């Protein structure tokens, strides 16, 4: 019963959801890789080996996401999809602009207060909050999960004693959250696109 409902939900995904999810996966791949590189920087082990360990999954996820974006870009959007985007695009760009504005203000304030050690936690909370309303705008549960886990990871690392360990834990938790959700979305959209293609051939 559960499997049947899941397959049915996948097959009824709109082109809008597939396109938005693929682009979201690409953003997660880039952002997750950035946090993982920062974790290596904070660790003090800035050797080619450690950067290579981060580079391999980074390149793989980014390449996979690019392929999904290219594949979904050709999907025709329905009239309802276009109407939905027109109705929410102002709120979407307002959310994005607010995120970037808060990031800029937070980084300036932390630098001014000489507390740049809190940058990973501040970024995690701001980016996590940015994802939450996207769940409603873009009709995707993955945004709630991504935002909620990022906020929990950022806040959860605060009790750790001030220093590089806290920064490593914070950056790693945020980076892995974005990577894991990226992989989940890419698998999900690949499966959905494949099922839709099969249904059209029947």
List Cα–Cα distances, 4 to 1, 7, 11, 140, 170, in angstroms.
5, 5, 11, 20, 38
Residues of the chain with pLDDT under 50: 1-11, 197-201
pLDDT digits (tens, 9 = 90+) for 119-137: 999 999 999 999 999 988 8
Comparing C-alpha atoms, which of 38, 25, 11 is closest to residue 146? 25
Q: What is the pLDDT of residues 15-32, one digit of tens each?
A: 888 888 899 999 999 999
What does the pLDDT read at residue 77? Answer: 78
Distances (CA, A) of 109 to 18, 103, 118, 174: 38, 10, 11, 21
- Distance separating alpha carbons of residues 176 and 84, to the nearest angstrom: 32
pLDDT value for 46: 78
**What tokens appear for 15 in the block?**
């082109």
- Establish how many alpha carbons lie within 13 A of residue 106's alpha carbon, considering only the half-sphere containing its beta carbon: 17
Q: pLDDT at position 47, please?
A: 81
Which pLDDT value is given to residue 60? Answer: 96
pLDDT given at position 116: 87
Q: What is the spatial distance between Cα 104 and Cα 98, in angstroms, rounded to a whole number?
A: 10
């Amino acid at each position: 019963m559960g499997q049947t409902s899941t397959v049915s939900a996948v097959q009824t995904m709109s082109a809008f959801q597939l396109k938005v999810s693929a682009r979201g996966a690409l953003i997660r791949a880039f952002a997750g890789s950035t946090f993982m590189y920062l974790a290596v920087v904070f660790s003090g082990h800035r050797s080619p080996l450690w950067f290579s360990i981060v580079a391999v999954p980074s390149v793989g996820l980014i390449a996979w996401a690019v392929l999904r974006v290219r594949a979904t870009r050709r999907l025709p959007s329905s009239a309802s999809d276009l109407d939905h985007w027109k109705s929410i695009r102002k709120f979407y760009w307002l959310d994005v602009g607010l995120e970037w504005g808060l990031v800029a203000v937070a980084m300036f304030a932390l630098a001014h207060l000489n507390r740049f050690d809190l940058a990973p936690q501040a970024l995690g909370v701001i980016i996590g909050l940015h994802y939450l309303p996207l769940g409603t705008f873009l009709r995707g549960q993955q945004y709630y999960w991504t935002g909620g886990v990022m906020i929990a990871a950022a806040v959860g690392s605060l009790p750790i004693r001030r220093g590089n360990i806290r920064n490593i834990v914070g950056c790693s938790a945020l980076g892995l959250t974005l990577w894991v959700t990226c992989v989940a979305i890419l698998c999900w959209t690949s499966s959905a696109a494949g099922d839709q293609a099969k249904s059209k051939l029947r």
